[in-house]
Chains A and B, each alone.
Chain A
Amino acid sequence: MSPLESLEFDVAIVGAGGAGLRAAIAIAERDPSLTIALLSKVYPMRSHTVAAEGGSAGVVLPEDSLEHHFNDTVSGGDWLCDQDAVEYFVAHCTEEMVQLDHWGCPWSRRDDGRANVRAFGGMKIERTWFAADLTGFHILHTLFQTSIKYPTIHRFDEHFCCDLLVDGGRAAGVLAIEVATGDFRAIHARSVVIATGGAGRVFRQNTNGGIVTGDGMGLAYRRGVPLRDMEFVQYHPTCMPGSGLLFTEACRGEGGVLVNKDGYRYLQDYGLGPPDPWPRKKAMELGPRDRLSQAFWHEERKGRTVSTAHGAAVNLDLRHLGAAKLRARLPQICELAEKYLGIDPAHAPIPVRPAVHYTMGGIPTDVRAATPMPGLFAAGECASSGIHGANRLGSNSLSELCVFGKVAGEEAARFARENGHGDRGRVRAQAESGRDAASAPLRRLGSGERLAQLRDTMARAMEEGCGIYRTAAGIERTCSTLSQLRERIGEVALEDRSSGWNTQWLALLELGFQLEVAEAMAHSALARRESRGAHQRLDEGCTQRDDARFLKHTLAWHDGRDAPRVGWSDVVITRSPPGERIYGREVAHE
């Protein structure tokens, strides 16, 4: 039996990416008497925040306003946003960007020394702060290095959280595996923040790192917290065919264009035109991501895409930017294109296609980052904070990490001050049975089916059934496959039965989370019989937005070994009644 050590902290934070680090710092600053356990299955600087490139939104220009940022975000989200959360969000973005500057983030600058901002998809006015094309990298390293200042933050690096501990219906801690040894640690806490990122790895082609497996969503989901709006998965329009590696939206913000095999800027055929003048905000290549990905899907159907070794693609043309501007503003893009594709963007276009990038859905939170479970908070991509609705605008996510990371930290701190620990005996017993469940695969003989086989089957099924355009038949097939996989995972044999550094075992635990999260995505997609934002359906009666019946959030509830039950909850509408999403020509008349 693996050792199980019990430790006590005031707040436990799962995930040390941008949101988790920001939460930890917020608690340490607000109340240095509270002890914080910050757990991460990788060293913090490996968190996937590191891969974000383009920038982080915050209103600064005199011609801009919170009203504009609010409207861009709500319409970008196809009115599925909780507007109270959006109001709070836009009002606090800029202050967080300034805070990052004070902590050392190397924002790219104007000549007068102020932070520079650039145009980004779906945004009326430039408000995206950026640090070359390494914004996520710089934000993550800034937050991680700043967190080192605070002695009350106790890090548990390379600790895999396999269970959420709950007592009397409130969060009471987490159960974690020390990766290096396989030993278990029960972290008893008065409040818990989940900041574990998205779940894009359930799909085949994605921009995500290997760690983005929806663990935190799974932790809460299994303990009765519903997952909200899981059907909304963002396809980023410009990714490397095959690997799915990201070419930042900033390429288009700097003036890059997308052309099909005939050299034609095809986006003008999809309500995003006219093509000129260019660049132009909220038009053509600066339209929202869902529209651009959908346009690609149509172009592929029409046979107008380019063929590559890894499937269909279109061309991202950056040649007209010139080598000097490319090196200065988009150095990482140049490196990616050169090293992985042998292409110099100053001389040749880059083949790109949509790949899964971001999970709009997740653990539902209100404007105080509180989930439906008392004492449980969530921030970042794992949360459904309500600000992205049916489609996220680029550069709103990095800002979200800071704005709601801080809120989650402060609220978790407040809860910890006002509440004691859960019952230590009961929590310890729960941890013991959690340990037994997590360790079971190490002892099991199994049918010999390989983990990778199940994982690839899941990823393919999600790509087919929950792609850019969906049909009931397709989704149902995927639901059926996922249900079978959930059976089969119980029989997977591990070749590796050691306890220390057993990444095959951890991958199996991750697959368990992924299958359940994927099921929530697929069943929510089936339930939403309309098309909105990133969820588009081809079947009859579902091809349009239907506010009368579906201006609601989906909620997927875990139901043991059965498929999730899907329910609904209200969308918070304050200032902006549902309207039409206007891009392209009509923007000029706003």
Chain B
Amino acid sequence: MSDTRPIEIEVLRYQPGARAEPYVQSWAVQFADDTSVLEALQRIKDLHDGSLTFRWSCRMAICGSCGMMINGVPRLACRTFLREFLPGPVRVEPLAHFPIERDLVVDANDFMTKLATIRPFIVPREERPLSEGEYRQTPAELERFEQFSHCINCMLCYAACPQYGLDTKFLGPGLTALLHRYNNDSRDGAREERMQLVHSDEGVWGCTAVGYCSVVCPKQVDPANAVNQNKTMSAVDWFARFLPGRRP
């Protein structure tokens, strides 16, 4: 490898069988201009310590596997470059607000369980046989939800959300954005059912508009917008109950 410099990587490790508490271990790694944090971790695992454990796959910020805290900020390791942190050290920790399973792997079960509860699929507004072809959806209608469909489920927004950290019953930014994506899809008709989740104690009212979720989102989904728009809609729906004959 040409033109490389060394940098110190500090990793918060946790091995439940071996030690009761997490501890920090560091290594010096050679890196080039385009070496990512993920590549550095792979190098450590390949050459120095095969027990270092972390999730990864695509290397191109689309699978959402490699979310971790890098110098205290939730980032995707494959798209965070060591050159940004000169002279170092770089501190790598598991994603905040999630229990640590081992090393940089967190317990994602809460997210996965909640994902199933928001009805994240089209419940057709009107049935349409396949023989009639695709639903007609104009570019303008697509635009209403497209941005919110870009969520890669990386959970960086949950690591950025202190309200989720304080109370994991909160539905949270990413899943509210996904819920919002379906509500705004012209093909879907289940908005009313999903709003029940929005109105609930664990719904949008847990959000205090910190806004950090949207800052860290690697796909510019803007979950803060999804959550806060739904606060407005939740309030409107609540008042609309008093109007005769009006459907929220």
A and B touch in the complex (CB under 8 A): yes
Query: Interface on A for B, CB 8 Å cutoff?
Result: 42-43, 45-48, 50-51, 95, 97-99, 101-104, 106-109, 111-115, 132, 134, 137-138, 141, 145-146, 148-149, 157, 180, 209-211, 242-243, 245-246, 309, 332, 335-336, 339-341, 450-452, 494-496, 498, 500-504
The residue that A50 contacts in the complex, of B62, B149, B182, with Cβ under 8 A, is: B62
Q: Is B56 in contact with chain A by the CB < 8 A criterion?
A: yes
Q: Is B53 in contact with chain A by the CB < 8 A criterion?
A: yes
Residue of B nearest to A495 (CB): B50
Question: Which residue, of A99, A101, A107, A503, has the highest number of chain B Cβ atoms within 10 A?
Answer: A503
9 tightest Cβ-Cβ pairs between the two chains A and B: A113-B136, A452-B46, A209-B57, A496-B51, A495-B50, A101-B134, A104-B122, A501-B102, A209-B58
A102 touches B138 (CB 8 A): no
Q: List 10 A-B contacts (CB under 8 A).
A: A45-B153, A98-B133, A102-B124, A106-B145, A114-B133, A114-B134, A141-B149, A498-B17, A500-B102, A503-B53
Which of B108-116, B201-209, B224-232 lies at the interface with chain A? B108-116
User: Can you list, as one digit per residue, whether each of B70-111 has a CB less than 8 Å from chain A (1) or not (0)?
Assistant: 000000000100000000000000000000011101001000
Residues of A within 8 A of B50 (CB): 450-451, 494-496, 504
B58 touches A48 (CB 8 A): yes
Q: How far is the CA of A142 from the CA of B17 in the complex (A)?
A: 39
Residue of A nearest to B136 (CB): A113
Q: Is B63 in contact with chain A by the CB < 8 A criterion?
A: yes
User: Can you list, as one digit per residue, whether each of B2-17 has a CB less than 8 Å from chain A (1) or not (0)?
Assistant: 1100000000000111
Q: How far is the CA of A309 from the CA of B2 in the complex (A)?
A: 8
Residue of A nearest to B149 (CB): A106
Q: Is B176 in contact with chain A by the CB < 8 A criterion?
A: no
Known: A99-B130, A148-B116. A504 touches B51 (CB 8 A): yes
Q: Is B45 in contact with chain A by the CB < 8 A criterion?
A: yes
B149 touches A148 (CB 8 A): no
Q: How far is the CA of A504 from the CA of B103 in the complex (A)?
A: 13
Q: How far is the CA of A309 from the CA of B79 in the complex (A)?
A: 19
Known: A113-B137, A501-B53, A504-B45. A209 touches B105 (CB 8 A): no
B112 touches A336 (CB 8 A): no
Question: Which residue, of B18, B59, B128, has the highest number of chain A Cβ atoms within 10 A?
Answer: B59
B101 touches A46 (CB 8 A): no
Q: How far is the CA of A41 from the CA of B37 in the complex (A)?
A: 23
Q: Which B residues from 146 to 164 make CB contacts under 8 A with A? A: 146, 149-150, 152-153
Q: Is B34 in contact with chain A by the CB < 8 A criterion?
A: yes
* Additional A-B contacts beyond A102-B124, A309-B2, A335-B61 (17; CB < 8 A): A46-B65, A47-B63, A48-B58, A50-B62, A51-B60, A103-B121, A106-B146, A106-B185, A114-B133, A114-B136, A145-B115, A209-B57, A209-B58, A242-B34, A340-B34, A450-B46, A504-B45
Q: How far is the CA of A137 from the CA of B221 in the complex (A)?
A: 15
Q: How far is the CA of A498 from the CA of B16 in the complex (A)?
A: 10
Residues of A within 8 A of B137 (CB): 107, 109, 113
* Least Cβ–Cβ distance between B75 and chain A, in angstroms: 12
B17 touches A500 (CB 8 A): yes
B46 touches A495 (CB 8 A): no
Residues of B within 8 A of A99 (CB): 130
Q: How far is the CA of A419 from the CA of B47 in the complex (A)?
A: 49
The residue that B62 contacts in the complex, of A51, A309, A495, with Cβ under 8 A, is: A51
Q: Is B199 in contact with chain A by the CB < 8 A criterion?
A: no
Q: Is B188 in contact with chain A by the CB < 8 A criterion?
A: yes
Residue of A nearest to B80 (CB): A339
Q: Is B167 in contact with chain A by the CB < 8 A criterion?
A: no
B122 touches A112 (CB 8 A): no
A104 touches B146 (CB 8 A): no
Known: A145-B121, A452-B46, A498-B15. A137 touches B79 (CB 8 A): no
B138 touches A111 (CB 8 A): yes
Residues of B within 8 A of A339 (CB): 61, 79
Q: Is B135 in contact with chain A by the CB < 8 A criterion?
A: yes
A146 touches B57 (CB 8 A): no
Q: How far is the CA of A107 from the CA of B61 in the complex (A)?
A: 21
* Least Cβ–Cβ distance between B105 and chain A, in angstroms: 6
Q: How far is the CA of A341 from the CA of B79 in the complex (A)?
A: 11
Q: How far is the CA of A145 from the CA of B122 in the complex (A)?
A: 9
Q: How far is the CA of A164 from the CA of B116 in the complex (A)?
A: 30
B182 touches A104 (CB 8 A): yes
Q: How far is the CA of A339 from the CA of B149 in the complex (A)?
A: 21
Residues of B within 8 A of A502 (CB): 51, 53
Q: How far is the CA of A211 from the CA of B66 in the complex (A)?
A: 13
Residues of B within 8 A of A149 (CB): 121
* Least Cβ–Cβ distance between A121 and chain B, in angstroms: 21
The residue that B130 contacts in the complex, of A95, A111, A112, A132, with Cβ under 8 A, is: A95
Residues of A within 8 A of B120 (CB): 145, 148
Residue of B nearest to A149 (CB): B121
B115 touches A148 (CB 8 A): yes
* Least Cβ–Cβ distance between B5 and chain A, in angstroms: 15
Q: How far is the CA of A246 from the CA of B59 in the complex (A)?
A: 10
A51 touches B63 (CB 8 A): yes
* Least Cβ–Cβ distance between B53 and chain A, in angstroms: 5
Residues of A within 8 A of B61 (CB): 335, 339
Q: How far is the CA of A210 from the CA of B33 in the complex (A)?
A: 22
